[in-house]
C-alpha cells in the first residue's frame, strides 16, 4: 500500500499487520497529531481508524475490479493522551458485497482505551 505523500505519512501512521480479519497500526502522539490544548486530536484518531478499516476492507476485495472508500465513520473519544504512541486494532463486523463495517479500538501503551470507532466502507466497481 502506498504511504509516501499521503495522510499516513503526514501523521506518522505505520501499518504493523494487515489481513482481511485484523489490521493493526500505530500513530505517534506528537506535534503532527495534537490539538491546541496538547491532547491527541480527535480528527487524527478518526483518520487512524478509517485507515485501519479501509486497509482491512481492501484485503477482502479484488483490487483489479473494486475499490473501497469510507461511507460513514463514528468515534467515541474515551480518554485523552498527550504523548507517546497509540495503537489501532480493527476487526470486521460485516463483510458484504457492497459494504463492509469495521470496529477499530485505539489504545495507549498500557492498553487503555483511547477511542472506539465504527467505520462503514462502500465497495465500488473500479472505474
- Give the C-alpha separation, 102 to 119, whole Å: 5
Output b/e per residue, 50-82; b: 16+ Cβ within 10 A.
bbbbbbbbbbbbeeeebbbebeebebebeeebe
Catalytic residues: 50
Q: How far is it, in rounded angstroms, from Cα 5 to Cα 3? A: 6
Amino acid at each position: 500500500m502506498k504511504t509516501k505523500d499521503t495522510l499516513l505519512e503526514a501523521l506518522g501512521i505505520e501499518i504493523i499487520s494487515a489481513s482481511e480479519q485484523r489490521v493493526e497500526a500505530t500513530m505517534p502522539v506528537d506535534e503532527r497529531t495534537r490539538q491546541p490544548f496538547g491532547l491527541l486530536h480527535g480528527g487524527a484518531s478518526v483518520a487512524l481508524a478509517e485507515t485501519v478499516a479501509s486497509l482491512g476492507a481492501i484485503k477482502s476485495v479484488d483490487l483489479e475490479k473494486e475499490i473501497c472508500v469510507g461511507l460513514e465513520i463514528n468515534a467515541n473519544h474515551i480518554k485523552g493522551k498527550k504523548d507517546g504512541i497509540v495503537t489501532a486494532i480493527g476487526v470486521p463486523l460485516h463483510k458484504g458485497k457492497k459494504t463492509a463495517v469495521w470496529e477499530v479500538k485505539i489504545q495507549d501503551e498500557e492498553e487503555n482505551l483511547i477511542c472506539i470507532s465504527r467505520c462503514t466502507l462502500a465497495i465500488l466497481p473500479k472505474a
